[in-house]
Amino acid sequence: MRTDRKTQMSKLMQNAWMLVKKYGLSMRDAMVKAWGIFKLKGQMLRGIVKFFYTKVDGSTRMAWGTLKADLLPQQAEEGKQKKSNDTVFSYWDTDKQAFRCFKVVNFLNIA
């Protein structure tokens, strides 16, 4: 259990530093974003979550999404695993019934 927590905190710090290096955020802002994404992922693994992010065109999007295995379509679980990208967060959009993603730096909050 202890090593699992250390691994999670290490990943959190790696994500925060990535935001500092790639997008020039302050460490405070990067930690806020990293914690927000960490909490969002945890909640999505348990069920459907309402959250907000800024789209590439600058508008704000309210989305309902999940990562819970029994709520994902069958082919998604059997499909090929894509290469991990820490700058993008992918999720199953329950409204659109499709996978969607957004840049981690554009995450706003969980409703």
Residue 100 has phi, psi (to 5 degrees) of: -135, 165
With H, G, I as helix, E, B as strand and everything else as coil, classify residue 95: coil
Q: What are phi and psi of 60, to 5 degrees?
A: -90, 135
Please say whether the beta carbons of 52 and 65 come within 8 A.
no
pLDDT of residue 84: 79
Q: Indicate the average pLDDT of the chain.
A: 91
pTM score above 0.75: yes
pLDDT of residue 36: 97
Q: What is the pLDDT of residue 85?
A: 86
Q: Are the C-beta atoms of 55 and 66 separated by less than 8 Å? A: no
